[in-house]
Amino acid sequence: MNKVKSIFKRNPEVSRLLVIMVCWLIFMMFTQAEKFFTGVNFLTMAGQFPEYGLMALGGMLCMITGGIDLSVVGTANMAAILSVFTMIRLFGEEGTMPLAFSVVIFIIAILVGCVVGGLNAFLISQLGVPPILATLGVNELLTGLCIVFTNGSAVSTFPKQYCDFFSGNFLGIIPRRLIVFIIVAVVIWLLLEKSTYGTKLRLYGTSARVSKYSGINTSALLFRTYITSSICAALGGLMMLATYSSARADYGTNYTMQSILLIVLGGVSPNGGKGKLSGVVTAIVLLKMIESGINRFRSVSTYYVTLIWGAVLILALVIDYMSQKPKHAK
């Protein structure tokens, strides 16, 4: 019993989410067991959440600094659209793309992330634009460019070898999109917990002034953080491309709110300085389980899902505010 209590004290956010998850699974067991507890359903969930899960992983880093990244969806769609145009340019609309070219597609996404993240960081660290305004403006810029590039319609005629591969399962069991998510999560965990970057990030989130006086290059730290966030968002765009087999300017419009919800629900403080990967990953899994469970009830419209997420986000923010004294401006 003492060991259980110590675990709850060390990871209160994760513990609360696990309790909610167990309660939800019990509820589904008594209401929709035949539809929910199936291998197909769990494989579907595992293949779907990496899209917004990757955006949440990167956004988590920004929120630990006390900032926010609202450009994740625009970045994701830009990466997907540029990847599709590259495939069309090189192989034609009905051509065959070598599967090895997928490496180039990932490189394109990483480059998009570097450019967008660098722009966000420049606006924030060099021009002093508040993160919420800087990233929101960049998101609108990217969305506008995507609309211009695609004429506002979906681009669905292109070589589908990439989509066929990443929408499938490794060994017929593990979704390949989940493998991408796990690899990115491990990299971010190493950055946060096994390098000085994580220490500097939390110190900056606690007090930007103190971190600067401590000799930390805060501008370089912000550039690294927002570039990493944008790369994660761009990779999320590639996962959306694999799911939908098309690219469009307005795909994933709800993912911005969902990623923020996941970050806050996972125990990352909007005030900065606090946050762990384990909490965010647990929140991602829990959110997908709840969403999948709600969809099993035919009497509940899917339009209520967004309403529920909004209410949960407000509740999570209130709980965070009540659990600690709000920090003053840095």
Neighbours of 285 (CB within 10 A): 17
**pLDDT tens digit sequence for 55-96:** 999 999 999 999 999 999 999 999 999 999 999 998 888 888
Domains of the chain are 11-323 (1.10.3470)
Q: By C-alpha distance, which of 258, 282, 270, 278 is closest to 20? A: 282
Q: Give the separation between CA 26 and CA 269, rounded to whole angstroms.
A: 29
Inter-residue contact 121 to 226 (CB < 8 Å): yes
pTM of the predicted protein model: 0.90
Q: How far is CA 321 from CA 23, 114, 309, in A?
A: 25, 33, 18
Cα 145 to chain centroid distance, Å, stands at 22
**pLDDT tens digit sequence for 21-44:** 898 899 899 888 888 888 888 888
Tokens encoding 161: 């070898």
Report CA torsion sign: 157, 242, 61, 42.
positive
Tokens encoding 3: 């060991």
User: Angle, to 10 degrees, between the axis of helix 196-206 and the axis of helix 50-64?
Assistant: 60
First to last CA, the chain: 41
Residue recorded with tokens 């994660």: 232
Q: How far is CA 126 from CA 31, 191, 203, 222, 306, in A?
A: 54, 24, 20, 10, 36
In the prediction, which pLDDT does 330 show?
A: 45
Residue 218 burial (CB < 10 Å; 0-12/13-18/19+)?
Answer: middle
In the prediction, which pLDDT does 5 show?
A: 57
Q: By C-alpha distance, which of 281, 104, 115, 327 is closest to 182? A: 281
In the prediction, which pLDDT does 131 show?
A: 95
pLDDT for 121 beyond 70? yes
**pLDDT tens digit sequence for 180-228:** 999 999 999 999 999 999 999 999 999 888 888 888 899 999 999 999 9
